[in-house]
Amino acid sequence: MSTLAVPPLFARLAGAQRILIAGAGGGFDVYAGLPLATALRALGKQVHLANLSFSNLDGLDIDSWVEPGLAAVTPDSLGGAGYFPERTLSRWLSARSLPSTVYAFPRTGVQPLRSAYATLVRRLDLDAIVLVDGGTDILMQGDESGIGTPEEDMASLAAVAGLDGIDRLVVSLGFGIDSFHGVSHADVLENLAMLQRVGGYLGALSIPPDSPEAAAYLDAVSHAQSSTPLRPSIVNGQIAAAVRGQFGNVHVTSRTSGSELFVNPLMAVYFTVDLLTLARHVKYLPSLENTRSITEIAYAIEDYRDTVSRRPRRALPH
């Protein structure tokens, strides 16, 4: 049971002992799950980490592969020196004496990705999976004026929705960041309101700036930024700035130069939804079911967008 004193996210996970927190959209998405992972570990939970990977996983040793669509990345894993968020995170975890394996999924279609998730469910005897999105485009239903960069998020959502016998949630961290990719956050709020009406919205939860969760997250993001100087995470850089209380046009990397940013406290808030309820309301998700490549997913989304009547674009009125 959730109350004001017990947030629904933690009420939902109260009975779970073995939880996978997985970055849904690739890149550094898994980092957005670190505050939650820190809090769950403090409650005595066994937490595992995974990420849909933008890294070149072809350089991994054969022993790193659990199966063709699932790699176990450790601090000593081979791979590209310039960009490897999963190994960077693994090294940060190891330096802090935390379980350091980070599972990595190649960018594939729904069927191979679901197979990889099913392997982890069996291998780790999981009770729950929490997909985490750095941003909000995982909450897009498909008929909005802009839907961000949904291919990887939707691959993850559809893959996990097809699993059985396990609790499944989605958390979004970084409200406002996807404006750069055309998302209207009035649409995000409308979608959350709809999910609330049907019982699928589990509320919002901010990261206290003076908490152990914030300290761990800020340290991990700082480590990642220094370890990946040519491709630092734009999303987590802005979220970290929001956790620190910065506001407005705050640039933490030259990659955002020339754009107008709006760092604000809402970026440091988790929005939680029930995964199955969300999946039922993504209107094109059934057309992704038999995909085996990310290209097939991109074409299916484009086909849907070409035929659907889109909502008029709206700005937040306040």
Handedness of CA 177, 10, 166, 32 (dihedral sign): positive
pLDDT 10s digits, 12-46 = 999 999 999 999 999 999 999 999 999 999 999 99
Supply the pLDDT for residue 80.
77
Supply the pLDDT for residue 253.
85
With a CB cutoff of 8 Å and minimum separation 6, the contacts of 33 are: 21, 22, 23, 49, 130, 132, 171, 173
Supply the pLDDT for residue 181.
85
- How far is the C-alpha of 41 from the C-alpha of 86, rounded, in Å? 19
Confidence of residue 228 (pLDDT cuts 50, 70, 90): very high
H or E element in which residue 22 lies = strand 18-23
Q: Is the confidence at residue 145, as pLDDT, over 80?
A: yes
Supply the pLDDT for residue 24.
98
- How far is the C-alpha of 23 from the C-alpha of 134, rounded, in Å? 8
Q: Is the confidence at residue 2, as pLDDT, over 80?
A: no
Would you state the structure tokens that stand for residue 270, as one six-digit string? 């988790």
Angle, nearest 10°, between helix axes 34-42 and 212-227? 140
Supply the pLDDT for residue 192.
98
Confidence of residue 179 (pLDDT cuts 50, 70, 90): confident
171: three-class secondary structure by DSSP: strand
Q: State the average pLDDT over residues 141-146.
A: 95
Would you state the structure tokens that stand for residue 169, as one six-digit string? 């949630």
CB atoms within 10 A of CB 28: 27
Question: Which one of 73-87, 118-132, 179-193 scores highest in mean pLDDT?
Answer: 118-132
Supply the pLDDT for residue 57.
94
- How far is the C-alpha of 68 from the C-alpha of 2, rounded, in Å? 40
DSSP secondary structure letters along 210-243:
TSHHHHHHHHHHHHHHHH-TTS--HHHHHHHHHH
Confidence of residue 258 (pLDDT cuts 50, 70, 90): confident
Confidence of residue 143 (pLDDT cuts 50, 70, 90): very high
Q: What is the mean pLDDT of the chain?
A: 95
Confidence of residue 48 (pLDDT cuts 50, 70, 90): very high
pLDDT 10s digits, 284-299 = 999 999 999 999 999 9
- How far is the C-alpha of 116 from the C-alpha of 24, rounded, in Å? 13
Supply the pLDDT for residue 260.
86
pLDDT 10s digits, 51-69 = 999 999 999 999 999 999 9
91: three-class secondary structure by DSSP: helix
Q: Is the confidence at residue 185, as pLDDT, over 90?
A: yes
- How far is the C-alpha of 208 from the C-alpha of 243, rounded, in Å? 8
Report the alpha-carbon angle 9-14-18, nearest 5: 100
pLDDT 10s digits, 190-220 = 999 999 999 999 999 999 999 999 999 999 9
